[in-house]
A = this chain, B = another copy of it.
Amino acid sequence: MPKIVDHDARRRELGEAFWRVVLSDGVEAASVRTVAAEAGYSAASLRYYFPTQDELLDYTWQMVLDRALARVGALALPAVPVEAALLVSEQSVPMDAERAAEAQLWFSVAAVARTNERLRARLEEVHATLRDGCIRIVAGLQQVGACHPDRDPTAEGIRLHALIDGLAFHGATLPGVYTPAQMRAMLRSQLDDLRSAPV
């Protein structure tokens, strides 16, 4: 079925073009016109493969998310558990251009999710994935004694997740407001505080 393969390849090309425009000029520069031009297609071709802007956003977001998850999966984790937890937590924080662009795409999805069922489902799915990941990080630290046994991994995990998304929001909307070192220090304090008994 060469037609279908071609269709998928075209969509991937257009998603890649969307992502390159976001990476270089920000999500507000990613219009039908600029994305089509970046991919070397006409605006009409782009609309054939993605009838609405939301479909292109959804496709590209899923593509970028898959890559981010692959990046997390491929991390060489340090032997010290808290350092490994820090490295994983940092992957959703806009500490470089790639993660800043990921956060920008994420807030674009969030901005239209209330009026778009598919993007809303995606938002909920990603929220749950990140939340559960944060809970697992805390539970893992507790197992190796790096989180006090009296702390609740679920409560601490959702708090870590809120901190991460706050940093993602600050980094996406006010790029440069915090240095990577400041963002890392906030995450490190959050993880370090888990060692103490809750008050």
Q: Which residues in A have some Cβ–Cβ distance to B below 8 Å?
A: 26, 28, 107-108, 110-111, 113-115, 123-124, 127, 155-156, 158-159, 161-170, 173-174, 177-178, 182, 185-186, 189-190, 192-193, 195-199
Contact = CB atoms under 8 A, between A and B. Distances in A.
Contact of A166 (B28, B163, B177): B163
Contact of A169 (B110, B115, B182, B189): B110
Contacts of A168: 166
Given A162-B166, A186-B159, A198-B189, A173 B113 contact: yes
Contact of A178 (B158, B163, B174, B192): B158
Contacts of A182: 155, 158
Which of A111, A161, A164, A197 is packed against the most chain B CB atoms within 10 Å? A111
Which of A114, A190, A198 is packed against the most chain B CB atoms within 10 Å? A114
B162 A186 contact: yes
Given A166-B169, A199-B195, A127 B177 contact: yes
15 contacts: A110-B169, A127-B174, A155-B185, A156-B189, A158-B186, A159-B186, A162-B166, A162-B167, A165-B169, A166-B167, A166-B169, A169-B169, A189-B198, A192-B198, A193-B199
